Structure 1
Amino acid sequence: MSKYISKTGKINLLDEKIYTFLSDFTNLKNIIPADKVSDFSATADSCQFTVSGLGKAGLKMVEKEPFKLIKITSNGGPFSFFFWIQLKPVDEETSSTALRLTLEAELNPMMRMVIGNQIQNGLDKLVDYMVEYFNMKFNN
């Protein structure tokens, strides 16, 4: 298994609000990029979609620890993986939360060489996007 850990992002919001939003896949419908993802359908704990250039894929929540951790696994798609969303309160006074993403994937050595850096960059960009999204949507 190859493991990739994102940079840490800081969201100016309580961990409870972030967790409540992210722990329900139906909340993602309006924020996924329509130019890259189509045929999105979701229940609270699972979702299916088509990624342009990759095909059909799915996600399933397998573990939740309120306000701290959401663990997700692949549910169909080109390769299997586990994905963690970790939340940690930073400052009670400012209601800020640290966010970190971890992806563990079964990649053969060739795939690791080809897409390893893209996975790492993608996780870091996803952190940036999530920080921007939560800071804009919930703090205005």
Structure 2
Amino acid sequence: MDTYESKVVTIVRNDQEIFDFISKFSNFTPFIPSDKVDSWTATEDTCRIKVKGIETGLKIIEREPFKTIKISGDGAPIDFSLWVQLKQVGEKDTKLKLTIKADLNFMMKALLKNKLTEGLDAMADHIAMVFNKS
């Protein structure tokens, strides 16, 4: 499996507050853009999304309170896992990093390497923006 990592972003919240929110897929429902997504369903541990006729899902396979959330694909076309890592370094200073481990063939690696890293960076930035905004 190949590993792709986001940049580290800073969130002006404590790790427990961030963890409690992002460790439940059902909390993401208000943020799903209905104009871009055909369907979205979520529980605390799983979610299913359909975009442009393609449906896939995610499931949380492990939670280490206030530190790590491990997510795997559930019906995804490739075998992968996504880790959300948190590290509190001050009272309201938590670092977040996203890591994807994916089993990609040579052709997929060539096509997706930069896009995966860019996507992870954009996701990390967006998570930080949402938490730092309020």
TM-score when scaled to structure 2? 0.95
For residues 51 and 70 of structure 2, what CA distance do their matches in structure 1 show?
21
Residue of structure 2 equivalent to 1:122: 119
Letter in 1 for 2:10: K
The number of aligned residues is 134
Residue of structure 1 equivalent to 2:7: 7
Q: Which runs of 5+ in 1 are unaligned?
A: none
Q: Which moved more, 1:30-39 or 1:115-124?
A: 30-39
Letter in 2 for 1:131: A
How far residue 32 of structure 1 moved from its aligned partner, in angstroms, is 2.4
Residue of structure 1 equivalent to 2:69: 70
Residue of structure 1 equivalent to 2:59: 60
Question: Would the alpha carbon gap of residues 51 and 136 (structure 1) be closer, same or farther in structure 2, given more than 3 Å must change?
Answer: same
1:25 correspondence with 2:61: no
Residue of structure 2 equivalent to 1:109: 106
For residues 90 and 35 of structure 1, what CA distance do their matches in structure 2 show?
38
How far residue 38 of structure 1 moved from its aligned partner, in angstroms, is 2.9
- Provide the aligned C-alpha RMSD in A: 1.2
TM-score when scaled to structure 1? 0.91
Which consecutive aligned stretches of 4+ in structure 1 deviate over 6 angstroms post-superposition? none
Report SS of the residue matched to 2:58.
strand
Q: Percent identity?
A: 43
Report SS of the residue matched to 1:76.
coil
Q: Which runs of 5+ in 2 are unaligned?
A: none
